[in-house]
Structure 1
Amino acid sequence: MPSVILFDAPDVRVQLLPFTFTRPVAGIRCGILTLAEKWGRWLNAEPSYATEKYLSELFPFGLSDDHLYIDGSLCPNQRLVEVIRELPAGSFLRSAKDRSVLAVRTASATWADGQETEGLKEYVYAGEYVAIRNLWDIFGENGEQIGEDYELLTAGRTSHALADPHTHCYAPENIFIEEGVKIRAAILNAEDGPIFLGRNATVSEGAIIQGPFALGEGAVVGQGAKIRPNTTVGPYCKVGGEVNNSVFFAYSNKGHDGYLGNSVLGEWCNLGANTNNSNLKNDYTNVKLYNYATQGLEDTGRIFCGLFMGDYTKAGISTMFNTGTVVGVNVNVFGAGFQPKHIPSFSWGGAAEGFAPYRLEKALTVLNETMRRREISFDEKQEAMLRCINAGMV
């Protein structure tokens, strides 16, 4: 088996900012797993990455004499995996749908730098596949991907039994409980899609959950939470209030009441009490979203579209986010009124007060303390990455 390398197509990476400021495309979570975790399980291999230079210390490239490059935005399925596995050396796989390069097998260790296909034999893939190439794809494809990952993760395994007599389950055959899960007086409805509860996760008293739903390892659904379908709460997140069709990557908190819908939060984000977002315009027209490539607003083609928040960002109590808001990396936003549709990385302030630069040294101190509270170290590689982002070197 060649070494598996998940590459960032440059145009796709820009479309997925702010999340790809701090990770390769394949580091995005959609469904239960990240895209990289999906490929690792399907190919029984530990993938490496062909990504931006400033990210390479955190996400290294695996050098060998036989490389299988795979578009990091792809979600694997049985047929696609079979075709990519059979790809011979010195060839590439092109999509019949949009002519994009899906995979390349070559001895070159620098192929992804230019993505040239000259001298490689072309194969065309006409089958179906899902790719995460726009911000709204992350929540838009999440329900289907929960189902795909559920089948992958539960095949040949037996769910742990539900021990709590006060929890009621609808379609319990579609609910999988891993070791160490604690559930108290909750309602779990898996009639319209599976519910996956990861190892050592907690579902607190009075929570109501509708599938498809995924709860990551060590994550918590708070007391009285209302979790609507197609939602993922990633590892070690804490979520309360009302959440609909949203994705939390990992280590992020929405611990209090307030609404979040059709939204995506990166890692180490925090929403203060009674933070809400709009996900539908009152004239029912398509939502427009900030695009980092054009630095303007792009029509998403969707009438439901909420908040996209980059890593390490925090919102104060009662913060209100407009329909289709994009917030960058390491932002501290607060105050009255609806916030702007785009808030740049390393900003401090709010709509009423105005915004100022978030001083880097202060931001790093807060971040270090945030991670220390979870007994996780903030290391030099992470600091170097954030310094590059702050300096606009990305």
Structure 2
Amino acid sequence: MPVALFEDHHWKNLSPLTLTRTTFDVKLGARTIFEEYEHTGRRPDFLLSRKHLEKITKERHGCEVNPSSHDGDTIFINGLVHPSALDIARLEKVSHTFAITSGNRLVVARLSKKNVEYLAKCVRAGAQVNIKKMQVEKATDARAADGMPADLWDIIKVLENSLALQTASDRSSDPPGARVTGAAGVVAAGAEVEEGAVLDARNGGIYIGPGAQVAPCRITGPAYIGAGAQVRQFSTIESSYIGASCKVTGEIAHSIISDYTNKAHAGFVGHSYVGEWVNLGAMTTTSDLKMTYGKVKVAGTDTGLDNVGVFIADMAKTSIGTLVYSGTKIGVSAHLHGLVTKDVPSFSIWGAGIGAKSAELELSSAIETQKKMMSRRGQAMSKAYEKMIKNVFLMTAADRKKAGVRKAKFSV
């Protein structure tokens, strides 16, 4: 029976990370939910996404997105549900339509054609599914949403546990010349680990992917170093994911550094999520603890956590010496200067921290800059990616206006 992943309205809670990607394409540890399904050998047959992400999602995964019709029975699964939380084989044996809900969230369902059309319509619009409108046998399970992130900080809350599970392996290949401690194991799959590196696997496994280069540094597990990543000399990495083709230096703790992102100079990033194609300038540092040791708030909401850093969307850039307060959200392709104490809208050049007036980043400049960054990794921007940038620029115009971002040339 076909399986389809769909986005729910909690994409808004995970914004700005979800402006350029679906909920099932947000990293939860070292893998996204889509990648978790692939890892289990059960690749989704098709996907339901917001309309502006339709083409880029199809390009990313090579499978059908938002099909116009649905032939045969299908099990629809919320794109934030981990495959280990469901017994799909058992669900396939249920012969009638059903919907399992938790609160106001649809978790998993098998639906009639009419209800599928309603679900697809809501997903394309990024709207909440009104479960009461669905004519289907409903079962409420308060535990069904356990493990599903509802807010940005949930990603950080479960990070260490996710990495521990994702790096667990019976295989152990301690790199020669490296000092390895702990029994959790180190897997270096075709990586180059220089003599003098310290790999501490006492609290969790360490995976170092193909083509990765690890200079003398300290990595404390659980940690995942993606294929082709460069971990430079004297770095300290703890309980973090470093994505494919990243270049990192300095101190990184309890954070996700997504693919193709640069943190090539000294500075601290802690309890944070950094998107793809981000460049963090020299000495860029994020706060992840209040001086009062109180609970950190994100957009005015109490997270209940002592340690929360920042959430940086794709393509953002920071200048030399940028300092970002804890609990801050940084939008898509935002450019930061100086001290950043509050959320920054997408496509903004933010200069309040250096006494400058913030200005809107021209769309053409954002696209050109991204093309240059991609070319440095031997990649070309696709039409689908460029169209997505243009759509997000238009979608976030109201955010910039509300924040007082001017349509003018930025000057220091």
TM-score by length of 1: 0.88
Q: CA deviation at 1:119?
A: 2.7
Looking at secondary structure, tell me which structure has more strand per residue. 1
Say yes or no: does 1:266 pair with 2:275.
yes
Say yes or no: does 1:141 pair with 2:142.
no
Contact 1:42/1:81 (8 A) holds in 2:
no
Contact 2:175/2:188 (8 A) holds in 1:
no
Match of 1:113 in 2: 121
Match for residue 327 of structure 2 among 324, 328, 332: 324
Match for residue 223 of structure 1 among 224, 228, 233: 233
**Distance in 1 of aligned mates of 2:52 and 2:138:** 32
Match for residue 300 of structure 1 among 288, 303, 310: 303
Match of 1:176 in 2: 187
Distance 1:125 1:183, change over 3 A: same
**Distance in 1 of aligned mates of 2:325 and 2:382:** 34
Residue identity in the other structure for 2:248: V
Distance 1:269 1:18, change over 3 A: same
Residue identity in the other structure for 1:122: K
Q: CA deviation at 1:47?
A: 5.0
**Distance in 1 of aligned mates of 2:396 and 2:185:** 46
Say yes or no: does 1:164 pair with 2:176.
yes
Residue identity in the other structure for 1:377: A
Q: CA deviation at 1:42?
A: 2.8
Q: Deviations over 1:146-187 (max 9, x none)?
A: 122234xx46xx44x33422x111125422222x21111211
Distance 1:177 1:315, change over 3 A: same
Alignment map for 1:9-24 (pairs within 5 Å): 9-10=8-9, 12-24=10-22
Q: CA deviation at 1:246?
A: 0.5
Match for residue 68 of structure 1 among 69, 75, 87: 75
Runs of 4+ in 1 over 6 A off after TM superposition: none
Alignment map for 1:24-103 (pairs within 5 Å): 24-42=22-40, 44-60=42-58, 61=65, 63=67, 64-65=70-71, 66-77=73-84, 80-81=87-88, 84-95=91-102, 98=103, 100-103=105-108
Contact 1:40/1:47 (8 A) holds in 2:
no
Say yes or no: does 1:348 pair with 2:349.
yes
Residue identity in the other structure for 1:119: Q
Partner-residue secondary structure (3-state), 1:131: coil
Q: CA deviation at 1:274?
A: 0.8
Residue identity in the other structure for 1:264: Y
Distance 1:47 1:168, change over 3 A: farther
Partner-residue secondary structure (3-state), 2:395: coil
Match for residue 314 of structure 2 among 305, 311, 315: 311
**Distance in 2 of aligned mates of 1:330 and 1:133:** 24
Match of 2:394 in 1: 391
Match of 2:215 in 1: 204
Residue identity in the other structure for 1:146: L
Q: CA deviation at 1:83?
A: 5.1
Q: CA deviation at 1:121?
A: 2.3
**Distance in 2 of aligned mates of 1:189 and 1:321:** 29
Contact 1:329/1:344 (8 A) holds in 2:
yes
More displaced, 121-130 or 38-47?
A: 121-130
Residue identity in the other structure for 2:373: T
Structure 1's unaligned 5+ residue stretches are 291-296
More displaced, 374-383 or 74-83?
A: 74-83
Distance 1:82 1:287, change over 3 A: farther
Q: Deviations over 1:231-260 (max 9, x none)?
A: 111222121101110011211111111111
Contact 1:276/1:320 (8 A) holds in 2:
yes
**Distance in 2 of aligned mates of 1:245 and 1:86:** 40
Contact 1:67/1:107 (8 A) holds in 2:
no
Q: CA deviation at 1:86?
A: 4.6
**Distance in 2 of aligned mates of 1:370 and 1:311:** 12
**Distance in 1 of aligned mates of 2:396 and 2:83:** 32
Residue identity in the other structure for 1:314: K
Match of 2:409 in 1: none
More displaced, 370-379 or 125-134?
A: 125-134
Partner-residue secondary structure (3-state), 2:301: strand
Residue identity in the other structure for 2:136: L
Match of 1:8 in 2: 7
Residue identity in the other structure for 2:108: A
Contact 1:36/1:47 (8 A) holds in 2:
no
Q: CA deviation at 1:14?
A: 0.3
Match of 2:405 in 1: none
Residue identity in the other structure for 2:163: I
Distance 1:130 1:47, change over 3 A: farther
Distance 1:137 1:85, change over 3 A: farther
**Distance in 2 of aligned mates of 1:143 and 1:83:** 30
Match for residue 188 of structure 1 among 199, 218, 240: 199
Q: CA deviation at 1:127?
A: 5.3
Contact 1:79/1:127 (8 A) holds in 2:
no
Contact 2:174/2:187 (8 A) holds in 1:
no
**Distance in 2 of aligned mates of 1:88 and 1:251:** 45
Residue identity in the other structure for 1:197: I
**Distance in 2 of aligned mates of 1:53 and 1:79:** 27
Contact 2:5/2:44 (8 A) holds in 1:
no
Partner-residue secondary structure (3-state), 1:329: coil
**Distance in 2 of aligned mates of 1:62 and 1:328:** 26
